[in-house]
């Protein structure tokens, strides 16, 4: 689960608990000490975890030269450091099971940087390199590490980016939306479920020989192979 406040996470947890036997917990990814303690406690209770999906909120938008050093440090902590911490805790159990899936939700910017997302472009690129390196190290143990690169997806994050672009370019949000749609061969934004289905496939045994890739889920928007 992902949110920017504990209250929203607890609301969602309360909604989900009657419908699942799965243990639901949440943790601030920027708190490495707390993250280690929480995961160690879960592993002690339920044993190895075979699927890890890393998905942290995107850094704030803006030109690269406007970003402060702390913007990079905070984003690196919640993306790369958190993913590294989880991998170190979970990979031993995955090796034990001879099955593991680590899937990182990052961005098409790892193929072509996106304007006005200076910090995000930088950190997403670091995550992609981290994932490829790890994929090479753990592939022989039945563990795969892959990245899903969402394109324009109908979420609150997209609405916020649209509003920001409209103010920056002195256009209406509708103008920005149409401008973005014109760059997508599918001529529509993705539904969140479509990204989820790609993640589900990569997490399944059917994807056992797919390792170390960047998979755009973007309607064909990314202008590279």
User: pLDDT tens digits, residue range 54-67?
Assistant: 999 889 889 999 99
Q: Please report which confidence band the pLDDT of residue 215 belongs to, taking 50, 70 and 90 as the band edges.
A: very high
DSSP state, residue 117: B
CA distance 60 to 155: 16
Give the contacts of 201 (CB within 8 A, at least 6 positions apart): 207
Task: Over range 32-51, report the average pLDDT.
Answer: 95
Backbone angles phi, psi at 149, to 5 degrees: -110, 95
Number of separate domains in the chain: 1
Task: Judge whether 85 lies within some domain.
Answer: yes
**pTM score of the predicted model:** 0.92
- pLDDT at res. 48: 97
Tell me, yes or no, whether 169 lies in a domain.
Answer: yes
Stretch 163-170: mean pLDDT: 93
CATH number, domain containing residue 106: 3.40.50.720
pLDDT of res. 3: 75
In-domain check, residue 91: yes
> What radius of gyration do the chain's Cα atoms show?
18
Residue 151: domain span: 49-217
224 domain-assigned: no
Instruction: For residue 18, tell me if it sits in a domain.
Output: no
Distance, CA of 42 to CA of 37 (rounded, Å): 9
């Amino acid at each position: 689960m992902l949110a920017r406040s504990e209250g929203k996470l607890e609301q969602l947890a309360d909604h989900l608990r009657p419908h699942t036997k799965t243990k639901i917990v949440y943790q601030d990814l920027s708190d490495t000490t707390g993250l280690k303690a929480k995961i160690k406690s879960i592993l002690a209770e339920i044993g190895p975890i075979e699927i890890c999906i890393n998905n942290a909120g995107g850094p704030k938008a803006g030109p690269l030269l406007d970003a402060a050093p702390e913007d990079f440090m905070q984003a690196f902590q919640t993306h790369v450091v958190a993913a590294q911490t989880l991998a170190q805790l979970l990979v031993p159990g995955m090796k034990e099971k001879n099955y593991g899936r680590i899937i990182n939700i990052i961005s098409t910017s790892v193929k072509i940087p996106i304007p006005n997302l200076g910090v995000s472009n930088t950190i997403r690129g670091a995550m992609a390199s981290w994932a490829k390196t790890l994929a090479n190290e753990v592939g022989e143990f039945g563990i795969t590490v892959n990245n899903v690169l969402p394109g324009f997806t109908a979420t609150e994050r997209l609405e916020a980016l649209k509003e920001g672009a409209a103010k920056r370019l002195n256009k209406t949000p509708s103008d920005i939306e149409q401008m973005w749609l014109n760059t997508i061969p599918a001529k529509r934004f993705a539904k969140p479920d479509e990204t989820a289905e790609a993640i589900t496939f990569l997490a399944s045994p059917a994807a056992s020989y797919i390792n170390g890739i960047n998979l755009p889920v973007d309607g064909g928007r990314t202008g590279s192979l």
